[in-house]
Amino acid sequence: MKKIDPPFINDIGELKALADNEGLGSYPYLMNQYIQFRDRYNEYSDCGGDPWAVAPLPISEHLANALKGHYSQPPVGGLGFLKEYRRKLSPTFCPMCGGFGNGTLDHYLPKNDYPEYSFFSRNLVPACNCNSLRGETVKGAAPPARVIHPYFDDFLGDRLYQSVFEGGFSSPSISIEVVEEDHPEIEILQFHLDSVIKNEATQGWFEKYWSDLSQRPHDKLDLVLPPPTQDLTGAELKAAIRKYRDYMDKDHDTPNNWFSIFYTGLMNCQDRLDRLAAVIKSLR
């Protein structure tokens, strides 16, 4: 997860061009409701896309389908920024789940429920396959529970999540939890964890990473470990891991990448660190 700034897009200009285009299936319906759409764009930005503050705009099924079609197949000369969003906005990191991939655009407010935002730039967030795994879930049973919005939520600069290890050394159970139970946005953080972060892809990565680390910790952490001639204690390994985690935070410009979540939790497990230190000593 990461706070990112979208490139400046003249959304009102894009909307007006579409509304005036007589060759599109949205004409003249979009033109007739242009003022309402324009006002909704401004309202969205004012409330940070909060699904508890944004009600769907009443529009016909024909217009809704036409708007979603403009997103899927941008008209000639319009919505050119969509391809740029996918390719450039966050090419190697997912601002939604903290993973290391991208390639899709996530409609923060689902286009089936909010077709008026189908091509609104601030509703389109680069994401990995957590996009499809999340589906159309965006808010919980009661406010303020909702999905985090990378364009508007400044608390993404905080360290939000950490791993939790339970069970044996070789094949532990690894889960993720909110770091601060009294965080002012705890309901949002917990909902985002349950709805976006917890999925098969995330679980698979954490399990595979621990499997590799537990068998080859000297290779994974080589850049931050003391020289092989120096004895290594669990406490010294913890210091080395903290250095590695902090480097990853800087590299990805967020404390909420998967490496950071993984190692933040691992540093809470001194027995596991002692065992890793012993493995390193035996292999170097």
pLDDT (tens digit, 9 = 90+) per residue, 79-89?
988 877 766 76
Alpha-carbon distance of 51 to 26, in angstroms, equals 25
At 84-117, the pLDDT tens digits run 776 676 677 899 999 997 778 889 999 999 999 9
SS3 (DSSP) at 128: coil
9: confidence class by pLDDT, cuts 50, 70, 90: very high
At 63-72, the pLDDT tens digits run 999 999 999 9
Are 206 and 162 within 8 A, CB to CB? Answer: no
pLDDT of residue 138: 97
Q: Which residue has the higher pLDDT, 82 or 47?
A: 47
Are 188 and 146 within 8 A, CB to CB? Answer: yes
pLDDT of residue 90: 64
Burial class (CB in 10 A: 0-12, 13-18, 19+), 232: buried
Average pLDDT of the chain to the nearest whole number: 94
Query: In 3D, which of 152, 136, 24, 5 has the Cα closest to residue 79?
Result: 24
- Give me the torsion for CA of 111, 115, 121, 125, rounded to 10°: -10
**pLDDT for residue 247 is more than 80:** yes
- Beta-sheet pairing, 173-178 with 104-107: unpaired
pLDDT of residue 87: 67
- Helix residue ranges per DSSP H, 101-233: 130-134, 186-192, 200-215, 217-220
